[in-house]
A and B are shown apart, each in its own frame.
Chain A
Amino acid sequence: MASKNRKPPRVGDQPGFRRALIAAVLVVTAIFIVAPLVVIGVQAFSQGWAVYATAIADPDTLHAILLTVTTALIAVPINTAFGVAAAWAITKFDFWGRRFLLVVIEIPFSISPIVAGVAYLFVYGLQGLFGPALQSADIKILFALPGIVLASMFVTAPFVARELIPLMQAQGRDLEEAATSLGASGWRTFFSVTLPNIRWALLYGVVLCNARVMGEFGAVSVVSGNIRGQTNTLPLHIELLYHDYQTAGAFAAASILAVLAVVTLVAKVLLERRGAGRGGRPTLAANQTVPETTT
Chain B
Amino acid sequence: MARRVLPGLPLALGITLVYVSIIVVLPLSALVYKAASLGFEDYWRIVSSGRALASYRVTALSALAATAFNLVFGFALAWVLVRYRFPGRRFIDALVDLPFALPTAVAGIALTALFAPNGWFGSILGEAGITVAYTPLGIMIAMAFTSLPFIVRTIQPVLEDLDPALEEAAQSLGGSDASIFARVILPLLTPAILAGVSLAFARSLGEFGAIIFIAGNQPFSTEITALLAFIRLEEYDYQAAAAIASVLLITAFLMLAVTNILQARALRYTARG
Contacts and interface: CB of A to CB of B under 8 A. Distances in A.
Contact of A36 (B73, B110, B227): B110
Contacts of A190: 8
A107 B256 contact: yes
Given A107-B256, A283-B263, A257 B185 contact: no
A230 interface: no
B114 A39 contact: yes
Interface string B26-65: 1110110110000000000000000000000000000000
A118 B15 contact: no
Contacts of A13: 83
Interface string B8-21: 11011101110110
A295 B1 contact: yes
Nearest to A219: B208
A128 interface: yes
Interface string A178-218: 00110001100110000000000000000010010011111
A163 interface: no
Interface in B62-81: 73, 76-77, 79-80
Contacts of A7: 168, 171
A33 B74 CA distance: 12
A147 to B, nearest CB: 11
B183 to A, nearest CB: 11
Most buried by A among B28, B99, B177, B207: B28
B128 interface: no
Contacts of B229: 114-115, 118
Nearest to B73: A28
A116 interface: yes
A12 B83 contact: yes
Most buried by A among B95, B113, B205, B241: B113
A215 B103 contact: yes
Contact of B259 (A35, A108, A285): A285
A171 interface: no
Given A92-B6, A114-B229, A285-B263, A33 B181 contact: no
B196 interface: yes
A110 B80 contact: no
B101 A261 contact: yes
Contacts of B13: 85, 89, 93, 95
Contacts of B263: 283, 285, 287-288
A169 interface: no
Nearest to A29: B92
Determine the main DSSP class of A at the interface with B. Answer: helix
B208 A112 contact: yes
B254 to A, nearest CB: 10
A177 B17 CA distance: 24
A118 B206 CA distance: 13
B252 interface: yes
B16 A218 contact: no
A251 interface: yes
A281 B143 CA distance: 20
B144 to A, nearest CB: 8
Contact of A265 (B95, B168, B260): B95
Contact of B95 (A29, A86, A208): A29
A281 B154 contact: yes
B177 A14 contact: yes
B134 interface: no
Interface in A109-139: 110-116, 118-123, 125, 127-129
A253 to B, nearest CB: 9
Most buried by A among B106, B229, B252: B106
B208 A218 contact: yes
A34 B34 contact: no
A120 B171 CA distance: 58
B248 interface: yes
Interface in A18-41: 18, 21-22, 24-26, 28-29, 31-37, 39-40
B130 interface: no
Interface string B81-110: 001101010101011111111111111011
B37 to A, nearest CB: 10
A262 B100 CA distance: 11
Task: In the A-B complex, list the 8 residue pairs whose CB atoms are closest, starting with the nearest.
Answer: A215-B103, A112-B206, A186-B7, A217-B209, A119-B27, A36-B110, A85-B15, A89-B12
29 contacts: A8-B171, A28-B73, A29-B92, A29-B95, A32-B148, A33-B148, A39-B113, A82-B19, A86-B12, A88-B8, A95-B9, A101-B20, A105-B24, A110-B252, A110-B255, A110-B256, A111-B28, A111-B206, A119-B31, A128-B34, A215-B105, A217-B105, A254-B105, A258-B106, A261-B101, A261-B102, A265-B94, A265-B95, A268-B94
Interface of A: 7-8, 10-14, 18, 21-22, 24-26, 28-29, 31-37, 39-40, 43, 81-82, 85-86, 88-90, 92-95, 101, 103-105, 107-108, 110-116, 118-123, 125, 127-129, 150, 153-154, 157, 173, 176-177, 180-181, 185-186, 189-190, 208, 211, 214-218, 221-222, 235-236, 238-239, 242, 250-251, 254, 257-258, 260-262, 264-266, 268-269, 281-285, 287-288, 295
